[in-house]
Every structure is written in C-alpha cells, then in structure tokens.
Amino acid sequence: MISNSQPDANGHFGPYGGCFISETLTYAINELKNAYAKYQNDPDFLAEFQNELAHYVGRPSPVYHAARTSRELGGAQIYLKREDLNHTGAHKINNVIGQAMLARRMGKPRIIAETGAGQHGVATATICARYGLQCVVYMGAEDVKRQSPNVYRMKLLGATVTPVESGSKTLKDALNEAMRDWVANVDNTFYIIGTVAGPHPYPMMVRDFQSVIGKECLTQMPKMLGAEKQPDAVIACVGGGSNAIGIFHPYIPFEKTRLIGVEAAGRGLDSGQHAASLERGSPGVLHGNRTYVLQNDDGQIIETHSISAGLDYPGVGPEHAWLKDTGRAEYVGITDTEALAAFHHLCRTEGIIPALESSHAFAHAMKIAPAMRPDQSILVCLSGRGDKDIGTVADLDGVDFYDRPSMRGHVVKGAGNGTQGPQGQ
C-alpha cells in the first residue's frame, strides 16, 4: 500500500521537493519551518482553523451529483466537489487562512502573494482585510489583463496589486517577483504561496491546509454512494497542484480509486504551446524545489500557454512528480478547446458557471465517463467559479461582453466615435 506520509524531514517526496534557496532566504525559511512545526498539531491552532473554515469560508463544501450530465453521457455517475461555493469562489482560501494564521502568530504585519487567475490574490486580500494585515499581490501583466474582475476585487479589498512585466508576464514571473520582495523584506513580511510549489515546507504546508477537501469527500462520498463506497476515480486540474493534492492526498491509501490530474494541454500537447509539465517536462529545479519543469536543453524554463491563467505554470508541486513516478496518480492533458466546450456544457446542463481551470477537470470526466459503467462514479474537484472568466469566454466566442452597439456595427447617434456603451445613450 502506498502511504501518504511523505515528505521526509527535509521536504523530499522521493527524489523531488527539497529546499533550493539563496543564502538570503535561509533565515526566513528556517523561521517558517520552525513556526509550522510548532503549530501544525497545536490544538488551539487547529481549532481556530476549523472554526474559520466553518464560519468564514462556509465549509464543508457540498458534493453535487451532476445527474443530467451523467444521464446524457450514459456511463459513470459524475459528482462535483463544490469548492466554487467557498467564500471568494475557489479552493485557494483554505490555504490562505492557514498561512495567514501562522503569519499572525509569527508577528508579521505585511503579507505578499503571487497570483495567476487572481483567485489566490483575492483570497489573500480578503483575509488580510479581515486580519488587518498589509497586502501586496504580484500578478503577471498578461494575467492582469485577462483576469481584470479579480484585479478590481483585490483593490476593493485594500490590497496593492503590482503588475509584473518581466518574462512571459504570467504566474511564474509573479512568483519570481514575490520571492525577490521576500528576500528584501524578510523581517516584517510573510510570503503566502498559493500552491504546493516553492521550497520546503511550502509544498507540505499548503497540502496540509488543502487536504480538508479530500477529507470531507471521504465522509461525504459513502453517503452519496452508499455501502462505504468511495469513487472509482478522482479528477482535478493541475496548475501548481494545490486543489489536486488537496483532494488526492487523503485518497492515496485507497488504491481502488484512480487519481487523475489534468494539466493544460493548451493548443495541443505536441504544439509546444501548453503548460503540461508532468507530461512534457523533465526533472529540474524551479522556485526552490526539484520537480518536473518545462525547460529547454540548456535548462532554461520555456514559455507556457493555457486559456486559463491558473494553469499557466511551467512547473508543478513536487508531490505530484512523486505520485507520477510511483504510478499512484495519472496525469493527462485537456486542450483549450476541450476545456471551453466543458465550460459551456456545465453552464447549460447543470446551471454552474465553472472556472476555466476547473473546466479542464470536468472535460476529462466527460471524456472517460461514457466508457465506464453507470454503477461506477467519478468525483471531480470543481476548484472555482467562473465569474472571473466570462470576459475571456466572451472574447473567445466572439461575443461583445457588454453588447455595445458599436460592436454590432451600429453607430450610436451623437456618440462621437461610435464606441460609447448603452449606459452613455
């Protein structure tokens, strides 16, 4: 039986993980390691965490039977773990609360974070507002454009959003910039990483906070399926890998349950324009840990592409690298087009607007369900809601989001340049 007791004391998941940092970060990382070791099993800390999850986040999140979809596909029953119903609209807040509670106990008044889709940034800004902490969020300039509703949400919550103009202007560049800030401000600053990446202890600590997702499913699924049954497959999308590890980790010892991580295949796994580190990458070091990364022959990180900002990352949490090599989890790719189709299906068939990230996981469930029996089941982690993505989807569908008359070829009388919206009429 494969145990889920990893990592070792130095943060190794088999040959992956560890702590590859510059000397300037050693003090900060040791301080964090000691603080987490002190509080991770502390009854007061755990009770406060549970209380916050119950009363502020709204946990446990429900499991929903997507009955119409299951009937239409004619195979396995599909269930959705509704992380989209959490306060702030995604799984990210589970981890942010844990880390912010640690920051308070460590006496750090300033919080920094990186964000891709903006969900981690919004969750961090939210908790900083609630705890009275200063908040700075680094976000790639490209992501600032494609996730603008979340940028404004962060600002409303009192955070400073700093666009990052370097590299591909996406998540990896935001992480680089946040690391730089941390090195310069270690005394008063806590870095809340939003996924199971980074140097030890982050991959373990973020996983521990996110494992609440899978732990809830372990008790919820037998109630849905009866007779102590667990799902035949658990599927989650993988950017850095935090919602996936959150739902996978408690299931690792349940060997009859397949664990399937879905990466962004972008324009195709063989197009060179994707973010599938586990399927097309190779072992290397990125952001402080050894894992699968997308790199060229010289070890330089290569550019990624995905329709969804939250999956657009050239690395992956080291525990996933280990789960892949041991064969305990499988990793597959879903293209932009397939994710978009799944997004629309979920809107129209179940009345749920999913995040584009989560749509990748749902798309794979739709792919494999027909080949399974109706008495089998698939549990999908619906990691977030899609309000942030409706502008992107509208653009891709060629729809003018605001239905501006100018975009319909009309010129509004008296509107001057013809670009004035309905509110200006």
Catalytic residue list contains 308: no
Which residues are CB-contacts of 390 (< 8 A; sequence separation ≥ 6)? 353, 401
Instruction: Check residue 384 for interaction with ligand PLP (CB under 6 A).
Output: yes
Residue burial 334-364, b: 16+ Cβ < 10 Å; e: rest:
bbbebbbbbbebbbeebebbbbbbbbbbbbb
One of 7, 17, 231, 239 touching ligand PLP (CB under 6 A): 239
One of 329, 355, 365, 368 touching ligand PLP (CB under 6 A): 355
**DSSP SS3 for 130:** helix
- The type of residue at 318 is P
Catalytic residue list contains 142: no
Instruction: Check residue 276 for interaction with ligand PLP (CB under 6 A).
Output: no
Instruction: Check residue 237 for interaction with ligand PLP (CB under 6 A).
Output: yes
**Only segment of 72-80, 231-239, 326-334, 394-402 that touches ligand PLP (CB under 6 A):** 231-239
One of 12, 33, 59, 120 touching ligand PLP (CB under 6 A): 120
Cβ-in-10-Å burial (0-12, 13-18, 19+) of 162 comes to middle
Catalytic residue list contains 383: yes
* CA–CA separation, 309 and 195 (whole Å): 14
Query: Which is catalytic among the residues 83, 114, 142, 350?
Result: 114
Query: Which is catalytic among the residues 61, 242, 306, 383?
Result: 383
Q: Are the C-beta atoms of residues 250 and 214 closer than 8 Å to each other?
A: yes
| Angstrom distances, CA of residue 255 to CA of 79, 248, 258, 261, 325 | 19, 11, 7, 16, 16
Nearer to ligand PLP, 66 or 355 (CB): 355
Instruction: Check residue 323 for interaction with ligand PLP (CB under 6 A).
Output: no
Nearer to ligand PLP, 78 or 311 (CB): 311
Instruction: Check residue 126 for interaction with ligand PLP (CB under 6 A).
Output: no
- Contact set for ligand PLP, span 178-217 (CB under 6 A): 195
DSSP 86: S
For residue 277, the minimal CB distance to ligand PLP (Å) is: 11
**Which residues of the shown chain bind ligand PLP in the complex (CB under 6 A)?**
90, 116-117, 119-120, 195, 237-244, 310-311, 355, 357-358, 383-384
